[in-house]
Chains A and B, each alone.
Chain A
Amino acid sequence: MWPFFPFKKSNNSPSAKTVVTGNLQKDLNYLKKAFFYPDNKDLIVREIYIDTLEKEVVLLFMAGMVDRKVIEEHVIKTLIQAKPSNVDSKLQEDIVKRMLSIQNTTVYYTLEKAIKGVLMGKTIMLVDESKKIFALETTGYEHRSIDKPERENVIKGPLEGFVESSLINRSLIRRQLKSKNLITEGIEIGTSGICEVSLIYMKNIANDKLVERVKKRLKQVNSDNVQGLSVLEQHLEERPYSLIPTMLYTERPDRAVAFLQEGHIILIMDNSPACLVLPVTFWALFHTAEDQYMRWPYGNFTRVIRMIALLVAMFTPAVYLAITNFHPEMIPSELLLSIMNTREHVPFPAYFELIMLELAFEILREAFLRVPSLLGPTIGIVGALVLGQAAVEAGIVSPILIIIVAMTGLSAFAVADISFNFVVRIIRFIFMISALIIGLYGIALVLIGLLAYLNTLKSFGVPFMSPLAPSGPSSKDTLFRWPVWKQWLRPFYLDPKDSVRKKPPKRGA
């Protein structure tokens, strides 16, 4: 493991200072001070006197983090209207046991925990003369409703995407995978301890060592606030300077479920409309959900097309440079003559022309992300059509280059994964420069280097190119896939507890 984040043991033993004293005013003052109470308007302090107990109770919660309805109807109302017959003794537990109709409560003994509880959206109940603090599960805040996935669209298959709520995301997964073996572990990360990551895996499939490894890595995160999965991904990476991503960021619950069933681990966090899948291989980044939803021939067809698009996106500009500048004997004479003819009017060398145009395309792409959506189509026409046409007519670029750049630009979009898309677009420039220096030999050189690197790369101990290299028993779901009934093995590289998905199909059955 990379020793970037020295493991820091968090202090769990209650210090004398923060232990609940039992003195209501004293504890309350401590909490108020912690939240800068009168200044901070979001903290709500509600004092209630319970007649039957003849005790004062104080409720503390954060406005906006709690479900108001639950607090009003199930907490305050029941406490105020409690009838004497309901309470026999004056034990504080009875308040919880007999009076509150709340699904889940926890008991805290330190004020530090109470503060965290408030931050997580719980309602803290301080009872006079009690050394316990009750945390009532009233969390409920606004979030987006379940929507279609934005990036990973499918034509055939479920249309639900993850939203920003961890709870809802977990329910989306659990609904698709109804199994008692599906485990959700909550792990607090970071120094402040208010970021919780849900670690989800199949207890009967996922390898224990892998789960331990991921947990250990999660605990090494040494940051006070991890904003979401996209940031967490960067904390967890074992090779932070690598060009290649080693985790999959997907917004499709069905993909997450498919990975869970193979023995992968899923991470979910609040505020992230996605989940992280780890470990991953090259193929996980290359595949889309639809490959499996489509019938066998169609799924394979799209995969072949996508592979071609991937190669086109990486190599076309580089190969164009190499062939026209170093190996003009490789293209038909007619084509060469027409390239020569169009190049005749262009004042720049081919490499400058190409790199200029590629950069222009990347600029357009980046700019379009930020263009207000109302202006999008207008700017699109100006940017792409007018600019391209004018550049050719002005003799700054040759028309064949427009074809090449448009082709590569479009092909890059066939690569579904956003990280992988960046990899392809950056590598394209590396190929272009190597082709410029020494032609096809340079392309071959970089390609060999790239393949060698991909083969050394590991994602949480799993070789990146498996099950191709190293090879081992799996369902051979790589560039091609077999019909679903033939995919009865789980991939070996995850070393799953149960390596067989289902009984192997009988021949002729």
Chain B
Amino acid sequence: MRVCKFIFLFLLLILLMGCWDRQEVEERALVMIIGLDIAEKGMLEITYDIANAAAVDPGGGGGDVGLPSETITFLAPDFVSARDIVNSSVSREISFLHLRVIVVSEELARTEEFIHHFSPVLRDREIRRNVEIIVSQEKAEEFIRNNNPKLEERPYSFFEHMESRWRETSLTPLSILDKFFQRMEEDAGVFLAAYATAEVNPVIEKPTEDEYIAGEFPKLGGNPTQVLGSAVFKKGKMIGVLTGEETRLALALRPDVETDPFLVTYPDPIDEDYKVAFRVHKEQHNRIKMNLKKDVPKINVTIPLTLELLGVPSLINYIEDPNNMEVLKDSITAYLQGKAEALIDRTQEEFMAEPFKWSQVARRQFWTLKEYEGYHWMKSYPKAEISISFEIEISEFGRQLDSLDLQKIRD
């Protein structure tokens, strides 16, 4: 009797608790990339990029294995529930379990409608919070179709690798769903999303190599896709674009260390024709002091940076000559200061909000959350008086201290 009871209870555990959603793997169609474009009122033009399993050939048998993915575009009011209607032409169950990237066209992102169309991703069980958001200059559909990576077998793995580069280059921000909604719900700053295009329209005259946005970087060959700079979202709506350099600065101005050392060139203070190449290490947290008591809030930010000197094409001896070193240091400090102040002016005037996560520091100035919410950081930020100071230290000089003595060689 006891055994019967036990078996009965055990069966209940199984019968009542199962999800009963068993599905063989080959019955699923894995959507890897979703593209969203604006269409007529209330509708979206949706693009699904579905990975083709047959394109993976572990045996290396050769033969015609087909395209790595199938891209379909259709009109639907909502991209999550569109799964069923897509099944009219795709024979397998559409699954978002391995969704990697959501591409949003700039046109759609700049509308008020965008956030209404986008919020279903929060509810869907299959979409992960680490899905990447990319804003494309052109239509998302075109972007997905034109993206043609040469080194990766599949389009989604291109974005997967791209995503892991953001920390090393910091030319694009970490742009995932989780952070998007986090920033939006905080209602204190703007969110930076990766900005990309597959249409190249190079602009040659840029003073340094990182001042481009996607599509402007002149290059020949390879995948036309460029992911560079960031799209600025405020309250779920895109309001502007930051260049690669501005994105780097914005990340560097954040209180914590968010990025790995990145490579950069700064103007040579003595020989104007050349640049000096550095690897910039941000190893310490920024020191941020705030005074929010007065009408005009005062913010004082000190950014400690350690530079590693990599190349001096002008061959000026900055390393062994302390005077030259001082000149170089001062010039970089002034240069960064100017850039940072320009960026802050832009955020205060154009965006009226900050991408620097300073709200985290501002929150600490209040005793209760209620007080902080009453203060309205977003509204106070544009009128704040901000002073930035860089603490530059040039500590490493590569493998060799002195430069080439060209004079001697040419003789």
Would you call B21 and A326 a contact (CB within 8 A)?
Answer: yes
Shortest Cβ gap from A157 to chain B (Å)? 44
Q: Residue A364 at the B interface, CB < 8 A?
A: no
Q: Find chain B residues with CB under 8 A from A334 CB.
A: 56, 157
* Known contacts A333-B51, A340-B53, A441-B17; A325/B22 CB under 8 A: yes
* Known contacts A329-B97, A336-B30, A337-B30; A342/B58 CB under 8 A: yes
- Point out the residue from A329, A349, A439 that lies within 8 Å of B126, measured CB to CB: A329
- Point out the residue from B13, B54, B97 that lies within 8 Å of A344, measured CB to CB: B54
Q: Residue A445 at the B interface, CB < 8 A?
A: yes
Q: Find chain A residues with CB under 8 A from B22 CB.
A: 325-326, 436, 439
* Known contacts A333-B51, A333-B98, A334-B56; A340/B17 CB under 8 A: no
Shortest Cβ gap from A204 to chain B (Å)? 43
- Point out the residue from B32, B58, B97 that lies within 8 Å of A328, measured CB to CB: B97
Q: What is the bound-complex CA distance between A175 and B276, given in angstroms?
A: 83
Count of B interface residues, CB-CB < 8 Å: 31
Q: What is the bound-complex CA distance between A399 and B60, given in angstroms?
A: 14
* Known contacts A341-B54, A438-B14; A336/B25 CB under 8 A: yes
Q: Residue B18 at the A interface, CB < 8 A?
A: yes
Q: Find chain A residues with CB under 8 A from B26 CB.
A: 340, 343-344
Shortest Cβ gap from A57 to chain B (Å)? 64
Q: Find chain B residues with CB under 8 A from A328 CB.
A: 25, 28, 95, 97-98
Q: Residue A442 at the B interface, CB < 8 A?
A: yes
Q: Which A residues are within 8 Å of any B CB, using their own CB?
A: 324-326, 328-329, 333-334, 336-344, 349-350, 399, 434, 436-439, 441-442, 445, 449
Q: Find chain A residues with CB under 8 A from B54 CB.
A: 341, 344
**20 residue pairs from A and B, CB less than 8 Å apart:** A324-B24, A325-B23, A328-B25, A328-B97, A329-B97, A333-B157, A338-B56, A339-B25, A340-B25, A340-B53, A341-B57, A342-B58, A343-B24, A438-B18, A439-B19, A439-B22, A441-B19, A442-B14, A445-B14, A449-B10
Q: In the complex, which residue of chain A has the Cβ closest to the Cβ of B51?
A: A337
Q: What is the bound-complex CA distance between A461 and B292, given in angstroms?
A: 71
Would you call B53 and A326 a contact (CB within 8 A)?
Answer: no
Would you call B13 and A445 a contact (CB within 8 A)?
Answer: yes
Shortest Cβ gap from B188 to chain A (Å)? 32
Produce 1/0 per residue, B368-388, CB < 8 A to A.
Answer: 000000000000000000000
The 10 tightest CB contacts between A and B, nearest first, are: A340-B53, A438-B18, A329-B97, A343-B26, A341-B53, A325-B22, A333-B98, A338-B56, A337-B53, A324-B25
Shortest Cβ gap from A443 to chain B (Å)? 12
Would you call B24 and A326 a contact (CB within 8 A)?
Answer: no
Q: Find chain B residues with CB under 8 A from A442 CB.
A: 14, 18
Q: Find chain A residues with CB under 8 A from B21 CB.
A: 326
Q: What is the bound-complex CA distance between A434 and B30, given in angstroms?
A: 26
Q: Which B residues, 1 to 35, have Cβ-Cβ distances below 8 Å to chain A?
A: 10, 13-14, 17-26, 28, 30, 32
Q: What is the bound-complex CA distance between A445 and B16, given in angstroms?
A: 13
Q: Find chain A residues with CB under 8 A from B58 CB.
A: 338, 341-342, 399
Max chain B C-beta neighbours (<10 A), residue from A328, A341, A349, A350? A341
Q: Residue B128 at the A interface, CB < 8 A?
A: yes
Shortest Cβ gap from A430 to chain B (Å)? 12
Would you call B24 and A349 a contact (CB within 8 A)?
Answer: yes
Shortest Cβ gap from A404 to chain B (Å)? 14
Q: Find chain B residues with CB under 8 A from A449 CB.
A: 10
Shortest Cβ gap from A326 to chain B (Å)? 6
Q: In the complex, which residue of chain A has the Cβ closest to the Cβ of B160?
A: A333
Produce 1/0 per residue, B57-88, CB < 8 A to A.
Answer: 11000000000000000000000000000000
Shortest Cβ gap from B195 to chain A (Å)? 25
Q: What is the bound-complex CA distance between A343 and B25, given in angstroms?
A: 8
Shortest Cβ gap from B44 to chain A (Å)? 25
Given A329-B97, A340-B53, 18 additional A-B pairs, CB 8 A: A324-B24, A326-B23, A333-B156, A333-B157, A337-B53, A338-B53, A338-B56, A340-B26, A341-B56, A343-B25, A344-B53, A438-B17, A438-B18, A438-B19, A439-B19, A441-B17, A442-B14, A442-B18
- Point out the residue from B18, B100, B126 that lies within 8 Å of A437, measured CB to CB: B18
Q: Find chain B residues with CB under 8 A from A437 CB.
A: 14, 18
Shortest Cβ gap from B59 to chain A (Å)? 8
Q: What is the bound-complex CA distance between A343 and B53, given in angstroms?
A: 10
Produce 1/0 per residue, B145-179, CB < 8 A to A.
Answer: 00000000000110000000000000000000000
Q: In the complex, which residue of chain A has the Cβ closest to the Cβ of B29?
A: A340
Q: Find chain B residues with CB under 8 A from A333 CB.
A: 30, 32, 51, 98, 100, 156-157
Q: What is the bound-complex CA distance between A328 and B55, given in angstroms?
A: 19
Shortest Cβ gap from A177 to chain B (Å)? 44
Would you call B19 and A326 a contact (CB within 8 A)?
Answer: yes
Shortest Cβ gap from B149 to chain A (Å)? 15
Shortest Cβ gap from B206 to chain A (Å)? 37
Would you call B14 and A336 a contact (CB within 8 A)?
Answer: no
Q: In the complex, which residue of chain A has the Cβ closest to the Cβ of B156?
A: A333
Shortest Cβ gap from A321 to chain B (Å)? 9
Q: What is the bound-complex CA distance between A339 and B10, given in angstroms?
A: 33
* Known contacts A438-B14, A438-B18, A442-B14; A340/B156 CB under 8 A: no
Q: In the complex, which residue of chain B has the Cβ closest to the Cβ of A438?
A: B18
Q: What is the bound-complex CA distance between A343 and B27, given in angstroms?
A: 10
Q: Which B residues, 179 to 200, have Cβ-Cβ distances below 8 Å to chain A?
A: none
Q: Find chain B residues with CB under 8 A from A438 CB.
A: 14, 17-20
Shortest Cβ gap from A370 to chain B (Å)? 36
Q: What is the bound-complex CA distance between A329 and B53, given in angstroms?
A: 15
Q: What is the bound-complex CA distance between A442 and B16, given in angstroms?
A: 12
Q: What is the bound-complex CA distance between A399 and B58, given in angstroms?
A: 10
Shortest Cβ gap from A111 to chain B (Å)? 51
Q: What is the bound-complex CA distance between A337 and B54, given in angstroms?
A: 8
Q: Find chain A residues with CB under 8 A from B13 CB.
A: 445
Q: What is the bound-complex CA distance between A328 and B100, given in angstroms?
A: 14
Max chain A C-beta neighbours (<10 A), residue from B19, B22, B100? B22
Q: Find chain A residues with CB under 8 A from B10 CB.
A: 449
Q: What is the bound-complex CA distance between A254 and B20, given in angstroms?
A: 52
Q: What is the bound-complex CA distance between A334 and B152, given in angstroms?
A: 12
Shortest Cβ gap from A369 to chain B (Å)? 34
Max chain A C-beta neighbours (<10 A), residue from B19, B20, B95, B98? B98
Q: In the complex, which residue of chain B has the Cβ closest to the Cβ of A339?
A: B25
Q: Find chain B residues with CB under 8 A from A339 CB.
A: 25
Q: What is the bound-complex CA distance between A145 and B98, given in angstroms?
A: 64
Q: What is the bound-complex CA distance between A88 and B95, given in angstroms?
A: 106
Q: Find chain A residues with CB under 8 A from B25 CB.
A: 324-325, 328, 336, 339-340, 343, 350
Q: What is the bound-complex CA distance between A439 and B24, given in angstroms?
A: 12
Q: Which B residues, 248 to 300, have Cβ-Cβ distances below 8 Å to chain A?
A: none
Q: What is the bound-complex CA distance between A329 and B43, given in angstroms?
A: 29
Q: What is the bound-complex CA distance between A343 and B28, given in angstroms?
A: 12
Q: Find chain B residues with CB under 8 A from A439 CB.
A: 18-19, 22
Q: In the complex, which residue of chain A has the Cβ closest to the Cβ of B22?
A: A325
Q: What is the bound-complex CA distance between A161 and B95, given in angstroms?
A: 59
Q: In the complex, which residue of chain B has the Cβ closest to the Cβ of A324?
A: B25
Max chain A C-beta neighbours (<10 A), residue from B25, B55, B57, B126? B25
Q: What is the bound-complex CA distance between A338 and B26, given in angstroms?
A: 10
Would you call B128 and A329 a contact (CB within 8 A)?
Answer: yes
